[in-house]
Amino acid sequence: MIEYSEQPHYLVAVDCIVFGFDGEHLKILLVKRALEPEINKWSLMGGFIGKEESPDDAANRVLKKNTGLEGVYLEQLQIYGSPDRDPIERTLSVGYFALIDIHKYKNQLNHDFEAKWFLINDRPNLIFDHNQMVADARKKLKYKAAIHPILFEMLPKKFTIPQLHTLFEEVNDTKIDTRNFSRKINSIGILEKLEEKDRLGSKKGAYYFKLDRKNYIEKAQKFMNLLPKLNG
Amino acid sequence: MIEYSEQPHYLVAVDCIVFGFDGEHLKILLVKRALEPEINKWSLMGGFIGKEESPDDAANRVLKKNTGLEGVYLEQLQIYGSPDRDPIERTLSVGYFALIDIHKYKNQLNHDFEAKWFLINDRPNLIFDHNQMVADARKKLKYKAAIHPILFEMLPKKFTIPQLHTLFEEVNDTKIDTRNFSRKINSIGILEKLEEKDRLGSKKGAYYFKLDRKNYIEKAQKFMNLLPKLNG
């Protein structure tokens, strides 16, 4: 008979991969680690799961403590549990990714917190298996973005097609033909054109759009129309 | 300064949600729990993560111990970490789902192991949060099946359209029009028709098909053709 008391016990932590978009580039928010080992090295923001906390609670606490942010898009990525991933003591870590519109929180983040934004493709080397976590989170972001409107979490409520195009390019880490993109995104019918124009980017200006969330979900279904419903 | 030694330590387990298809019904493989609390109640197969094991290692070990199966499709679902989910002591559990072609393992499973198949919609009540795990796994299965060829893990290498139709219905828990389904699945062009017929189901017989995996991935891309690549 297996007894609970004879089983090994472990530390369990969360680590947050925080992605943001500033209208031009996909970025990642990093902190300098505050404890040994690897103190002062660049790291994902993380922390141990407290006695009364669920992993989701811990991720929200860590995000708030390091950024002041509440109510942002936060999703469980996976568990990292290789026995030797932490050199001090076995620690399993639950990875979470968060998506942020950088401009929305710009002032708050710059003044009150130590966290710093890096270009996703020009970031420092990270401690432990955090580089792997970032790679996995990017892959999942790309994959989920193909079927869920999660990228719009990183855009302002009203945005231009050039902004959306840049975000798609950055998330997929590749060039996408501008004219094709514009034609396709309009043909899917998930965007609502507004009257107003953004005149900062060019003389001619670019119309603002907003996402039609309900339509997005319906259209996503169309892509795999063998299935009557596509939830989750 | 946070010290590792001052942090709380927890038990960490894995639980496996094993789905199978027998050509007619989607089923789930359950065991009777072998330890207190809730001994002899129906449960997912699970176990504590050992000192030298990753969570993936533990899930593979648990699956092998309870079913004899190796090399089956096994994927991390999510972590379940509510502080009070286990009444004896805090235990976080990593849920995994496995997909099995029941016929392939029929003899092995019946003779050597205690695990038992139940109809997915007519299963006993499970211990702890295992009912929630099954619900989450079903949702994920449905969702992933829309974009990945994972359902074919539950079918023999050669299968008929009626078998595939039934599996789609069972996974989505809804009726799907037979003629429509047949027309759509053929129009996507992911199946390769074989010469041979299955003559057990009807007098006329039904042609066997096999999956064209490469084509499946290409066609999945087509569904969201804004993106140049869809991996992961």
Q: What is the CA radius of gyration of chain A?
A: 20
Q: Name the B residues in 49-68 with CB < 8 Å from any A CB.
A: 49-56
- Rounded to 10°, the helix B178-188/B161-172 angle is 110
Q: Please state, in angstroms and rounded to a whole number, the distance separating the CA atoms of residues A120 and A20.
A: 9
The answer to whether B165 contacts chain A (CB < 8 Å) is no
The answer to whether B82 contacts chain A (CB < 8 Å) is yes
Residue A143 clears pLDDT 90, i.e. is over it: no
What would the pLDDT profile of A41-82 be if each residue is shown by its tens digit? 999 999 999 999 999 999 999 999 988 888 889 999 999 999
CB-CB: which of B8, B91, B231 is closest to A143? B231
- Reported confidence tier of residue A114, pLDDT bands at 50, 70, 90: confident
User: What local confidence, expressed as pLDDT, does residue B112 receive?
Assistant: 67
Q: Give the number of beta-carbon pairs within 8 Å between A and B.
A: 153
Tell me if the bond preceding A83 is cis, omega within 30° of 0: no
When pLDDT is averaged across residues B68-96 and rounded to a whole number, the result is 94
Q: Do B225 and A184 touch (CB under 8 A)?
A: yes
Q: Do A231 and B9 touch (CB under 8 A)?
A: no
Averaged confidence pLDDT in chain B: 86
Percent above pLDDT 70 for chain A: 89
- Reported confidence tier of residue A230, pLDDT bands at 50, 70, 90: very low
User: What local confidence, expressed as pLDDT, does residue A199 receive?
Assistant: 86
Tell me if the bond preceding B37 is cis, omega within 30° of 0: yes
What would the pLDDT profile of B138-174 be if each residue is shown by its tens digit? 999 987 777 677 888 999 999 999 999 999 889 888 8
Kindly tell me the number of DSSP H helices and DSSP E strands found in chain A.
6, 10
Token digits of residue B225: 């053709």
Residue B217 clears pLDDT 70, i.e. is over it: no
CA angle, residues A149, A154, A159, in degrees to nearest 5: 85
Averaged confidence pLDDT in chain A: 86
The answer to whether B118 contacts chain A (CB < 8 Å) is no
CB-CB: which of B9, B82, B223 is closest to A223? B223
Handedness of CA B178, B179, B182, B184 (dihedral sign): negative
Q: Long-range contacts: A120-127, Cβ < 8 Å, 24+? A: A120/A19, A120/A25, A120/A26, A120/A27, A120/A28, A120/A170, A121/A173, A123/A28, A123/A30, A123/A42, A124/A30, A124/A42, A125/A42, A126/A30, A126/A41, A126/A42, A126/A43, A126/A44, A127/A33, A127/A38, A127/A41, A127/A42, A127/A43
* CB-CB neighbors (< 8 A) of B35 in chain A: 1-3
CB-CB: which of A53, A143, A185 is closest to B226? A185
Mutate: best of A177, A181, A226, A230, partner B, most B CBs <10 A: A226
Residue B222 clears pLDDT 50, i.e. is over it: no
Q: Do B231 and A81 touch (CB under 8 A)?
A: no
Q: Please state, in angstroms and rounded to a whole number, the distance separating the CA atoms of residues A109 and A117.
A: 9
Residue B228 clears pLDDT 50, i.e. is over it: no
Determine which of A34-48, B48-62, B99-113 has the lowest per-residue pLDDT on average.
B99-113
Q: Please state, in angstroms and rounded to a whole number, the distance separating the CA atoms of residues A19 and A29.
A: 7
* CB-CB neighbors (< 8 A) of A89 in chain B: 4
Token digits of residue B162: 């009626």
pTM summary value: 0.88
User: What local confidence, expressed as pLDDT, does residue B225 receive?
Assistant: 37
Determine which of A125-129, B105-109, B177-181 has the lowest per-residue pLDDT on average.
B105-109
Residue ranges of E strands in chain A: 11-21, 26-32, 42-43, 45-48, 73-80, 91-101, 116-119, 159-160, 191-198, 206-211
Q: Please state, in angstroms and rounded to a whole number, the distance separating the CA atoms of residues B164 and B21.
A: 10
Residue B27 clears pLDDT 70, i.e. is over it: yes
Residue B229 clears pLDDT 60, i.e. is over it: no
Local structure of B142: helix, strand or coil = helix
Residue A189 clears pLDDT 80, i.e. is over it: no
Q: Please state, in angstroms and rounded to a whole number, the distance separating the CA atoms of residues A129 and A117.
A: 19
What would the pLDDT profile of A144-177 be if each residue is shown by its tens digit? 777 677 888 999 999 999 999 999 889 888 888 8
- Which residue in chain B has the smallest CA separation from A147? B224
Cβ-contact B46, B95 below 8 angstroms:
no
User: What local confidence, expressed as pLDDT, does residue A231 receive?
Assistant: 31
Q: Do B3 and A35 touch (CB under 8 A)?
A: yes
Identify the CA nearest to A191 among candidates A169, A214, A166, A172.
Answer: A214
Residue A188 clears pLDDT 50, i.e. is over it: yes
Amino acid at B107: N
Residues 6+ apart with CB under 8 A from A2: B34, B35, B47, B48
- Reported confidence tier of residue A26, pLDDT bands at 50, 70, 90: very high
Judging by beta carbons within 10 Å of its beta carbon (0-12, 13-18, 19+), is residue B45 exposed, middle or buried?
buried
Judging by beta carbons within 10 Å of its beta carbon (0-12, 13-18, 19+), is residue B25 exposed, middle or buried?
middle
Q: Quick count: other Cβ atoms within 10 Å of Cβ A52?
A: 10
Identify the CA nearest to B89 among candidates B15, B8, B3.
Answer: B8
Residue A117 clears pLDDT 50, i.e. is over it: yes
User: What local confidence, expressed as pLDDT, does residue B223 receive?
Assistant: 37
User: What local confidence, expressed as pLDDT, does residue B219 receive?
Assistant: 64
Cβ-contact B38, B127 below 8 angstroms:
yes
* CB-CB neighbors (< 8 A) of B230 in chain A: 142-143, 146
Residue B206 clears pLDDT 70, i.e. is over it: yes
Q: Supply the ipTM of this predicted assembly.
A: 0.85
User: What local confidence, expressed as pLDDT, does residue B204 receive?
Assistant: 85
DSSP string computed for B182-201:
HHHHHHHT-EEEEEEEE-SS
Cβ-contact A73, A99 below 8 angstroms:
yes
When pLDDT is averaged across residues B203-208 and rounded to a whole number, the result is 89
Q: Name the A residues in 121-160 with CB < 8 Å from any B CB.
A: 139-140, 142-143, 145-147
* CB-CB neighbors (< 8 A) of A6 in chain B: none
